[in-house]
Amino acid sequence: MSPTNLHMYALAAPLIGAFAVMVVGRYSRRAVAPLVLGVLSFSFAAALTVFLQVLSGGGFRYVVGNWLAPYGIELSVDHLGSLMQLLVSGVALTASVSAVKSVAKDLEDRQHLFFTLYLILIAGLHGLVLTADAFNVYVLLEIASITAYGLIALGKGRAVVSSFNYVIMGSTGACFYLLGIGYLYILTGTLNMADLARIIPTLESGAALATAFSFCIVGLWIKMAFFPLHVWLPNAYSDMPDGAAVLVAPLMTKVTIYLMIRFMFSIFSPAYEFIQHAGVQQIVVGVAAVGIVCASAMALAQKNLRRMLTYLIVAEVGYMVGGVWLANAQGMTGAILHIVNDALMTLCLFLAVSAIAYHEGALDFHRLRGLYRRMPVTMAAFTVGALSMIGVPPTCGFFSKWYLILGGIEAGQWLYVGALIFSSLVNAVLFFRVIEIAYFRMPDADAPGTGHGAVQVREAPAMMLQPLVVAAAALIGVGLATGPLVQHVIRVALPGGF
């Protein structure tokens, strides 16, 4: 195991683990959980080592199977890539600890099948954050999406219909991306990102290149649920089983935003998007602002905690896309930082929701009454996540929002700045409403576990609480470590030209 291909082990571990889980799980249900957690811990340790190596020794490019670029497939293990790999493996490990418990309850005898899909999805995400080949992105995106369709369909009620709609929308997005790659290949004759970046500035055909760019970007926007292409997301994410939601909700959209950054700056260049096509940027940031406002408003109309959170994910996608298209260093820093922060915030909130749902079942607001007394630890962690979502200083949500607002002011995008502030206010209203219901309202007299006076504490099992507490601590930890994180990782990771 040489240190230069450790990132491959981080990727291969969940992939091999997936097949091991499927085979072993047939014979022994008990072996599934240790196998999954072992594989993901190994993957996390490897990703952490690679990240520390990249921090001290700088990034490198890795050629898979010794087929040299531009013909073979290259992986780029740079600051941004290894940060994302660390994020993916960390979130996956934390989420899986909780998923083991909730899946054991929801899908008793199909655990091993669930975790097979789960691990393949994680392997796909690992591949997506590392790859430096444009066609490879398409294949890995579909690996991640197809497993996600399967995981969503395992949910109860109308999850199958939501999953089918996601299949249609997701495949359309992937097809658009493939079409754009086709145009790029016809124009350049290569699929390697570095090679594409070298050839594209020498091309003369403006219209064909612009078509390729817009097809790919729209494809990625559909995949990341950028407003107004978001309609599939709220249903799909609120109908998923809890064990899948804690993994898919924090990671899928965020990794797609990372892909957009890769596509815009590793294949094309800031000069192409922001100087040669100067007007487009205004429109995209404007749409992002409208998206933030609309998604926040729709979140306000929801009567179910989990559905409310799914609309907030759509709003957060608007934050990051807008931040990237602001075209200045502050905005980019904010967008990349927000990818990390939003993944952690969504993880924390969805872990809390999954812990609440373990005993309570449905998550309509009126059933949350008196929850602070019944589940004090869960609700404390939920409050930390909520404060971070609103953007209250010691938590990490504040810092990325701060950078995004600074970037918006610098670019003179007042609509976007206004949308960010409006969305923070709406988040404050949303979460304080939940906190008010859960803290001050008394539960109905006939609700289980309550009598007059003495209220029983009935927390979720420890395996669901531990990851939740870790995630809440990470929110504050990352918030306090924002300075070094920005200085040593994100500033270095900013694409050339910023």
Out of 54, 93, 178, 196, point to the residue binding other proteins (CB under 8 A). 178
In this chain, which stretch among 162-170, 194-202, 296-304, 457-465 interacts with other proteins, using CB under 8 A?
A: 162-170
Stretch that binds other proteins, among 89-97, 169-177, 275-283, 298-306 (CB under 8 A): 169-177
Q: How far apart are CA 320 and CA 404, in angstroms?
A: 8
Amino acid 179 reads L
Give the nearer residue to other proteins in terms of CB position, either 175 or 428: 175
Interface size with other proteins, residues (CB under 8 A): 25
By CB under 8 A, what part of segment 186-245 binds other proteins?
186, 191
Q: Rounded to the nearest 5°, which phi and psi values hold at 455?
A: -115, 130
Q: Which is nearer to other proteins, 172 or 214 (CB)?
A: 172
Among candidate residues 209, 229, 342, the one with its CA nearest the CA of residue 284:
229
Q: Nearer Cβ to other proteins, position 190 or 423?
A: 190
Q: How many CA atoms lie within 13 A of 250 on its CB side?
A: 31
Q: Is 60 in the site for other proteins (CB under 8 A)?
A: no
AA identity, residue 41:
S
User: Applying CB under 8 A, which of residues 96, 163, 346, 427 lies at the interface with other proteins?
Assistant: 163
179 touching other proteins, by CB under 8 A: yes
> Which element (helix H / strand E) includes 76?
strand 74-77
Nearest distance from C-beta of residue 186 to other proteins, angstroms:
5
CB of 173 to other proteins, least distance (A): 12
Q: Per rule CB under 8 A, is residue 164 in the interface with other proteins?
A: yes
Distance CA 148, CA 253 (A): 12
Residue 274 interacting with other proteins (CB under 8 A): no
Applying CB under 8 A, does 175 fall inside the site for other proteins?
yes
- Do 236 and 151 contact (CB within 8 A), yes or no? no
| Dihedral class, residue 449 (left if φ above 0, else alpha if ψ from -120 to 50, else beta) | left
**Burial readout 115-148 (b: 16 or more C-beta within 10 A, e: otherwise):** bbbbbbbbbbbbbbbbbbbbbbbbbbbbbbbbbb
| Closer Cβ to other proteins, 58 or 228, answer by number | 228
Q: Closest approach of Cβ 49 to other proteins, in Å? A: 31
Q: How far is the CB of 175 from other proteins (least distance, A)?
A: 6
Q: Name the minimum Å distance from CB 157 to other proteins.
A: 9
DSSP string, 390-403: HT-TTSHHHHHHHH
Measured from the CB atom, the residue of 120 and 324 that comes closer to other proteins is 120
> Minimum Å distance from CB 181 to other proteins?
9
Distance CA 187, CA 205 (A): 8
The correct pick among 31, 48, 64, 160 for binding other proteins (CB under 8 A) is: 160
> Which listed range, 176-184, 312-320, 381-389, 398-406, lies at the site for other proteins (CB under 8 A)?
176-184
Q: What is the DSSP letter of 157?
A: T
12 lines the binding site for other proteins (CB under 8 A): no
Q: Does 185 bind other proteins (CB under 8 A)?
A: yes
What is the four-CA torsion angle of 180, 182, 185, 190, rounded to 10 degrees?
90
- Amino acid residing at 323: G
Nearer to other proteins, 15 or 437 (CB): 15
Q: Is 189 left (phi over 0), alpha (psi -120 to 50) or beta?
A: left
Give, in order, the Cα–Cα distances in Å from 497 to each of 54, 105, 272, 493: 21, 51, 11, 12
Cα→Cα distances 20→23, 119, 145, Å: 5, 10, 21
Of 174, 396, 404, 426, which lies in the binding site for other proteins, with binding defined by CB under 8 A? Answer: 174
Q: What are phi and psi of 21, to 5 degrees?
A: -60, -40
* Amino acid present at 298: M
Closest contact distance (angstroms) between CB of 176 and other proteins is 9
CB of 27 to other proteins, least distance (A): 25
Q: Does 282 bind other proteins (CB under 8 A)?
A: no
**Strands 74-77 and 60-63, sheet pairing:** antiparallel
Query: How far is 62 from 130, CA to CA, in rounded Å?
Result: 10
Residue 120 binds to other proteins (criterion: CB under 8 A): no
Closest to other proteins by CB, 133 vs 342, is 133
Question: How far apart (Å, rounded) are the C-alpha atoms in residues 141 and 135?
Answer: 10
SS3 1: coil
Residues 124 to 153 in contact with other proteins, rule: CB under 8 A: 135, 138-139, 142, 146, 149-150, 153
Closer CB to other proteins, 239 or 316, in the complex: 239
The one-letter code for the residue type at 356 is: I
The single residue among 41, 49, 172, 466 that binds other proteins, judged by CB under 8 A, is 172
Least spacing, CB of residue 172 vs other proteins, in Å: 7
By the rule CB under 8 A, 3 interacts with other proteins: no
What is the Cα–Cα distance from 180 to 35, expressed in whole angstroms?
Answer: 40
Residue 107 structure tokens: 């899908």
Binding mask 356-395 for other proteins (x = CB under 8 A): ----------------------------------------
Nearest distance from residue 196's CB to other proteins, in Å? 14
Taking the complex as a whole, the smallest distance from the CB of residue 269 to other proteins amounts, in Å, to: 25
The Cα–Cα gap between 323 and 292 comes to 12
Give the residues lining the site for other proteins (CB under 8 A). Answer: 135, 138-139, 142, 146, 149-150, 153, 158, 160-161, 163-164, 167-168, 171-172, 174-175, 178-179, 182, 185-186, 191
